Amino acid sequence: MTSWEIQGRELVNCNCSYGCPCQFNALPTKGFCEAMACYIVDKGYYGEVRLDGLTAGMAVQWPGPIHEGKGKCQPFIDIKADAPQREALLKIILGQDTDPLATVFAVFATTFERVFEPIFAPFEIAIDIEARRGKVRIPDAVEGLAEPIRNPVTGAEHRVRIDLPHGFEYELAEIGSGSTGTSGNVKLQLKDSYAQFAYIHMNNHGLIRHRQSAQAA
């Protein structure tokens, strides 16, 4: 197993209501799951290959709850990555060189029925976790925007977080509202649905935890 580690930020927009039942071990809002997820690697490596400053993402879709499988995945990899970096990013986001079920990538990998050939493309991406704002554009493939949830009466920004001390994706996520459209093998049309903004730090063995509460049994 090649040693790897990444630190960075993620932006995820799925088709569920703002709470996202997956975060609470419940069934998806509409009975099925689909999402666009993007990851900025602020600092990372795969063996001797540095991954700093690169971006990856995936459009995913399941006909029912994720754990029932039959999922589809369209990976996207930063065109700036060279051949070794592309291979490294793909192995990480597709759950390879990882302990079984140790990361969200490894969990998802067990549920995919089909993984399409990766698309190597330029990313226009911004993720501001504290402000709960983000956007992603991959030409001819993805257009996404996420922002704070708004109070339906006053229009004021509403802040809510999800705390997962023993999660396999993040420890703490800011929640917002997202809209994303994709084309190609996994077509999505999400509108004003669940979005999450989170710092990620993980390696072959799972999350690297930073908060004291996450260490408690």
Question: Tell me, what's the pLDDT at 215?
Answer: 45
What's the average model confidence in pLDDT over 6-16?
97
30 lies in some domain: yes
* 101 is a domain residue: yes
**What rounded mean pLDDT belongs to the chain?**
95
What is the reported pLDDT for 210?
A: 85
98 domain residue, yes or no:
yes
Q: In total, how many domains does the chain have?
A: 1
In DSSP terms, 59 is beta-bridged to 36, 74
- The pLDDT of 166-182, averaged and rounded, is 95
Q: Is the pTM of this model over 0.75?
A: yes
For residue 151, what is the DSSP state? Answer: -
Q: 14 is in which domain, residue-wise?
A: 4-202
Residue 94 predicted with pLDDT over 90: yes
The proportion of the chain whose per-residue pLDDT surpasses 70, expressed as a percent, equals 97
Dump pLDDT digits (tens) for 117-146: 999 999 999 999 999 999 999 999 999 999
Report the C-alpha gap between 107 and 121 in whole angstroms.
Answer: 25
Band of residue 148 on the pLDDT scale cut at 50, 70, 90: very high
In this structure, is residue 217 part of a structural domain?
no
Task: Write out the H or E segment, with its range, that includes residue 137.
Answer: strand 133-138
Question: What pLDDT is stored for residue 133 in this prediction?
Answer: 97
Could you tell me if 122 and 136 are in contact, meaning their C-beta atoms sit under 8 angstroms apart? no
For residue 90, the domain's CATH number is 2.40.400
Kindly state whether residue 126 falls inside one of the protein's structural domains. Answer: yes
Quick one: tokens of 34?
């689909």
Domain-located, residue 215: no
Distances from the Cα of 37 to the Cα of 14, 160, 176, angstroms: 8, 20, 14
pLDDT at 80 over 90: yes
SS3 content of the chain, % helix, strand, coil (to 5): 15, 45, 40
Question: What confidence score (pLDDT) does residue 211 get?
Answer: 72
Structural domain contains residue 15 = yes
User: Is residue 82 included in any domain, yes or no?
Assistant: yes
